[in-house]
Chain A
Amino acid sequence: MPVSRTLQRRIAPNRVIPVLAGLALLVVWSLDFGTIQPNRIVPGTGHGLLSATGWFGAGAVTLVLAASMLLSVLPLGVRYVPLLGLVGLSLAMLPLLLEVFAARHLPEGAPYARSAIGAGFWCLLFLLSLVLIEILGRLRSGRGLQILLLVSIGGSWLLLLRGDGLESLSLVREFNARPDQFEQALWTHLALAFGAVAISACVAFILALKMIRSPGWQRPILGAVSFLQTIPSLALFGLLIAPLSALAAAFPFLETLGIRGIGWAPAMLALVAYSLLPMLRNTFVALTEVPDNLVDAGRGMGMNERQLFFQLKLPLALPVIIEGVRITTIQAIGLTAVAALIGAGGFGAFIFQGLGQAAMDLVLLGALPTIALALMADAVFTMLAASLRPTPATA
């Protein structure tokens, strides 16, 4: 661990953290920290940091930011470990500020009144997260620590959000109004996105093999797949409605499977179509860029084509293929939100409902989990690719 080294000598001052923390101070004092709405639709009245959280809350926020600025520039022997503790703890406790805000400003006896998160809070959350990433980078922390931090901060947020103090938060209210729908949306979203990725992975793999075996097919296949990618997503969703409806009408048993002009079938088809290009490109490039001299050596030592493929080409290509799966998954999770427009369900449904009802917090209830899913997929596949590199770095 670099921790022991940091105890022994002075570390150069950090220039990134003071800038981020300074910016956070600026925005948290100048933008609205939260708003109070008398009901779901009416725009609320904004409160600055001082008004929202009182001298105690405002003082705590200012103190934390100032302390992290100081910790990062003062000539110290230890720098990043206390910073990690400070910023990590602050991030975990951030929802408490919202509780204080709700407790101070929510009118008594107004059952429809709700508190909402303001721009100041979002910016503070964003900038503190950047500071945390910078600290983790400087500490050259291992995956274990990062995951532990993520889980404990996430857990703390969940606990606080599920607690009584934040019941009035509009985001929580939107969730509490439809917990079953939320769960349903989660599963639909996951099934659509990962289903599409799985199908396109198989199709792309077969296409890539076909392109390698018969180079004449490379141009037409890549051309077709690239063309699919250029169709705007809404247009593709729309285009699929008519042929699928016709199909369902002609073969009623398809309709019993749920294959109709709208719903999951056209969404899945469109998602697969969009996933093909990144998946195919990565798979094809990875498999063809195995160095010739290795293939030559393998063949010269007596490997047959099958052994060459499974023992040499595929293992060397796997990290790049997984990179393709990562890109595709993130893209599919985002696109699935749009697929709600043709009745496919998922978190996109909340987004479009919220837009329709001018209820921004319902939009957030759809958007935030979508972002969280994408980030998680990114982390998981990055780790997977790292663990499959040809040479483990630790060897």
Chain B
Amino acid sequence: MIELKNVTRRFGDTVAVDNINLTIETGEVCVLVGSSGCGKSTTLRMINRLLPHSAGNILVDGEDIAAMNPEQLRLNMGYVIQGTGLFPHWTVARNIAMVPQLLKWPRDRIDARVNELMTLLDLDPTVHANKYPQQLSGGQAQRVGVARALAADPNILLMDEPFGALDAITRENLQMEMLRIQKQVRKTTVFVTHDIDEALKLATRIAVMDRGRIIQHDTPENILRHPASEFVENLVGKQDRGLKLMSLRPVRELMNPHRGPKRADPGVEGLREEDSIRLALSVMLWRGLQEVSVFNAHGEETGVITRERIIREGA
């Protein structure tokens, strides 16, 4: 758990972060979102003491970080930044092994861990382990960046616009990847972005920041349904909130389930349970359908989702 209590950061006369209070529960993904200069990166960098805070207290699992050794604190926090920050003179494997090496793990444990993480992030160790960062694509490099942050299995993950420099498709892939990995490892994550769609997709709770203050701190659904101010309303997009809400909910919640899983007829195309309702509607509109079959992870048909129900209850 991370707690920020009345935290302020001043740069000279300007106040970058103005007396904020924020609690991030263990295992949740808290996304700090806002326009550039709103203090979201500053807030993140105060949590691992890359920036000292001018006033207030920051507690990690109840302990004040001001009293901790900054290096020890950071070794316990994965850190992912925009543009990866991978060391160009180290191979992929060595980059990932950075924190375990700083912690002086034995050699074979490090090797095993590097292999494990590369596999987790869908990077083939036999192909990529001995490459240098310049030889990777942007998406691969950022996967390595994430693997490096996870290497020593820290409790906390700090991510500072990690996907900001990637193209739309790669970014989308990595976001899906992150959701998948988060399900497995459950890290307490603080994620900074200026992209509200990214925030809605990844967050357990979103903290909307403006001019150094937290305007609203709530779940994505509540942010969409009950924006606290006009600023938040504009940020989430007044008009397409309905669609954004639909993209938050999985098909599973709105389908008419069969009594038991059925064998699918070969060749029938359909949706997966975890696809968004927005996607379901899109598929129906495009193909001119009134309903679409839904399949589970084993390829069995578990239900049907109808256009009528989406229109009635979707948002």
Q: Is the CB of B71 within 8 A of A293?
A: no
Interfacial chain A residues near B75, Cβ < 8 Å: 301-302
Q: Does A300 contact B (CB under 8 A)?
A: yes
Q: Is the CB of A301 within 8 A of B102?
A: yes
Interfacial chain B residues near A298, Cβ < 8 Å: 85, 87
Interfacial chain B residues near A302, Cβ < 8 Å: 71-77, 99, 102
Interfacial chain A residues near B77, Cβ < 8 Å: 302
* Cα distance A297–B315 in the bound complex, in angstroms: 41
* Cα distance A294–B74 in the bound complex, in angstroms: 15
Q: Is the CB of A301 within 8 A of B81?
A: no
Contact-residue bracket for chain B = 20 to 34
Indicate the member of A299, A300, A315, A390 with the most B CB atoms within 10 Å.
A300
Q: Is the CB of A299 within 8 A of B89?
A: no
Q: Is the CB of A395 within 8 A of B131?
A: yes
Q: Can you list, as one digit per residue, whether each of A288-320 has a CB less than 8 Å from chain B (1) or not (0)?
A: 000001101111111110010001100110000
By secondary structure, the A interface counts as helix
Interfacial chain B residues near A297, Cβ < 8 Å: 79, 81, 84-87
Smallest CB gap from A316: residue in B: B89
Interfacial chain A residues near B48, Cβ < 8 Å: 300
Interfacial chain A residues near B84, Cβ < 8 Å: 297
Q: Does B98 contact A (CB under 8 A)?
A: yes
Smallest CB gap from A311: residue in B: B87
Which residues of A363-393 are within 8 A (CB) of B? Answer: 390-392
Q: How many residues of A contact B (CB 8 A)?
A: 20
* Cα distance A304–B70 in the bound complex, in angstroms: 9
Q: Is the CB of B85 within 8 A of A294?
A: yes
Shortest A67–chain B CB gap in Å is: 44
Q: Is the CB of A303 within 8 A of B88?
A: no
Indicate the member of B82, B89, B99, B131 with the most A CB atoms within 10 Å.
B89
* Cα distance A74–B88 in the bound complex, in angstroms: 46
Shortest B104–chain A CB gap in Å is: 12
Q: Does B164 contact A (CB under 8 A)?
A: no
Q: Does B272 contact A (CB under 8 A)?
A: no
Q: Is the CB of B85 within 8 A of A312?
A: no
Also in contact, A391 and B134, with CB within 8 A (given A296-B50, A300-B50, A312-B87): yes
Q: Can you list, as one digit per residue, whether each of B252-280 has a CB less than 8 Å from chain A (1) or not (0)?
A: 00000000000000000000000000000
Which residues of B64-122 are within 8 A (CB) of A? Answer: 71-77, 79, 81-89, 91, 98-99, 102
Residues of B at under 8 Å CB distance from A? 48, 50, 71-77, 79, 81-89, 91, 98-99, 102, 130-132, 134-135, 148-149, 158
A-B contact sample (12 more), CB < 8 A, given A301-B74, A302-B74, A302-B99: A294-B85, A297-B79, A297-B86, A298-B85, A300-B50, A300-B158, A302-B75, A304-B71, A391-B88, A391-B134, A392-B132, A395-B131
Residues of A at under 8 Å CB distance from B? 293-294, 296-304, 307, 311-312, 315-316, 390-392, 395
